[in-house]
Amino acid sequence: MSIHRPPVFALLLALALPAWAHEHHDELTEEEASAPIDTILWLHVFLQAAVWGVLFPTGMVLGIARSRWHVPLQSAGIALTVAGYILGHSHGGRAFPATVHGLFANIILLPLFLQLALGVYLKLHIHERTLRPWAVRAHGVVGKAYPVLGWTQMLFGAITMRGYCRGGHLGQCLAHYIMGSGFIAYGTIMAILLLVGEMWVRRSGRSPEWWDSWVIMLWGIVNTFTEHRGSVWSVKDMQHTILGVLWWTGGALGIFLSRNNQRSVVPSLIVILTGWAMSEHAQAMMISTKVHATFGYTLMLAGVARIVEVCFVVPKFSPLPADALASEGDAHSEHTLAEEPTAAAGASVGRAFRHLPPFLLVSAGLLFMSATDEELESVHETGMDHVTYVLIMFSLAFTIYTIIVVLIHLYATSGRNGAAARGDGSIELTSPTKWYAPVPAAEAEGEPLHVIGDEEE
């Protein structure tokens, strides 16, 4: 951040304080609750979605890549966020009761201004051997939390605008939005690991499935003991609870099979079985049954695609030269580049296929988030059929996955990584490593197995 930012910080804070006085209503008249959404509120929605959904994640990526555009972009994002905050408390038209969206809007200002203050402090270049190293870490942690904070607040905003998740609907909303967001996060992390994260996986000494299995097992333990409430066991209670058991038992097997950097198909099998269960999930409305079935089929396809990717989509490349291997330990660089691959056609196929599992996971997550009773009842009342609704969700999935891969590409081709990018904007890595070997992970006829990591970090 610029050394001259403190006056700007004070100005933004001064502008934001009057908006805190905006009152929400504990009780609304029918006229207030059904009033049309005015232009100012729509500006608030689109502005905050653009800032937290695109601008801040872009700035975060540029910061990780040490790009000189990081500071201008994040500074603009903070200014626009404060403007959007004021718009959200200045609109007319429809009135809203006190909600978690309004509460979180105040809470989210704390990491926002903390990040600004840390950025200003780091630009001063003081306390180099004492406080500065800790400030660098804190700045990185807070910055990387922006996409999660933004996603959460955007969900709260959509819920508030539609008036969902109140009373007896809260439990279903939590289940659908948390699990759906989990699938989207899973797909995002998978895309990062497959496209630019191979060096990180190599340094961790663990295969991707080892991490997957731990998350699945821990999540299964939680679900096993939280999905049933009361004394009567409903069909859904039984299904959800046994899914929890499936996850922690399968996760435990996946952890064992993935030890010593070995690949495993167990996480994919769990995804497939979960998708099958969801496709057979009984629902009260036909549209709900159809949407849940499509979600289940999408999840099953994601699991199958992941098995194919693990077992077969592993083109072989020539080993790294000695000097490239030596550069992996260079303390000044996290990136290792290599010679042109010897199997360019296989590499192209592998890169193309690797997008399928994460995209399907993102799609499945959106479908599950959109399958609550309140949402589907509203869709049914408008006369929309399940085909149109599902296609809308897949359109959103394309949009979100586009943002994900553009950000990954931006990381791989900007800042300190810019010199590593090829003319077409891609980065190729060839390295003799074990974690990405085909299943079974053994050397065939004495020939070492090699790996490509598309756009290595």
| Mean pLDDT confidence for 38-61 | 92
Q: Which amino acid is at 82?
A: V
| Mean pLDDT confidence for 153-165 | 89
Q: Quick check: is 152 in a domain?
A: yes
The lowest-confidence range among 181-190, 332-341, 387-396 is 332-341
Q: Quick check: is 234 in a domain?
A: no
| Mean pLDDT confidence for 128-157 | 93
Global pTM reads 0.79
**How does DSSP assign 408-445, residue by residue?**
HHHHHHSGGGGGG--TTS----EE--STTPPSS-S-BT
The three-state (H, E, C) secondary structure of 218-265, written as one string: HHHHHHHCCCCCCCCCCHHHHHHHHHHHHHHHHHHHHHHHCHHHCCCC
| Mean pLDDT confidence for 298-314 | 90
Over 60: is that where the pLDDT of 383 sits?
yes
Q: Quick check: is 75 in a domain?
A: yes
Distance CA 236, CA 120 (A): 52
| Residue numbers of the domain that contains 15 | 1-163
Instruction: Report the range out of 104-108, 114-118, 359-363, 424-428 with the highest average pLDDT.
Output: 359-363
Q: Quick check: is 278 in a domain?
A: no
Using 50, 70 and 90 to split pLDDT, how confident is the model at 218? very high
- Buried b vs exposed e over 429-440: b needs ≥16 C-beta within 10 Å? bbbebbbbbbbe
Q: Is the dihedral of CA 311, 314, 315, 320 positive or negative?
A: negative
Q: Quick check: is 74 in a domain?
A: yes
Q: Quick check: is 98 in a domain?
A: yes
Instruction: For tokens 């800042």, name the residue.
Output: 415
**Could you tell me if 201 and 193 are in contact, meaning their C-beta atoms sit under 8 angstroms apart?**
yes
Q: Determine how many CB atoms are found less than 10 A away from the CB of residue 100.
A: 15
Selected residue with higher pLDDT from 166 and 109: 109
- For the stretch 55-74, pLDDT in tens is 999 999 999 988 999 999 99
- The per-residue pLDDT for 52 is 94
Closest Cα partner for 101 from 179, 175, 50, 48? 48
- The per-residue pLDDT for 35 is 66
Tokens of 174: 């939590």
- The per-residue pLDDT for 348 is 59
CA–centroid distance for 62 within its chain: 17
Tokens of 252: 């435990």
Over 50: is that where the pLDDT of 179 sits?
yes
Over 60: is that where the pLDDT of 76 sits?
yes
Over 50: is that where the pLDDT of 448 sits?
no
Distance CA 245, CA 230 (A): 19
Distance CA 439, CA 452 (A): 16
**Could you tell me if 363 and 396 are in contact, meaning their C-beta atoms sit under 8 angstroms apart?**
no
Q: Quick check: is 15 in a domain?
A: yes
Q: Quick check: is 284 in a domain?
A: no
Tokens of 54: 């695109």
- For the stretch 90-122, pLDDT in tens is 777 777 777 888 889 889 999 999 999 999 999
Domain count for the chain: 1
Distance CA 61, CA 192 (A): 12
Mean pLDDT of the chain: 79
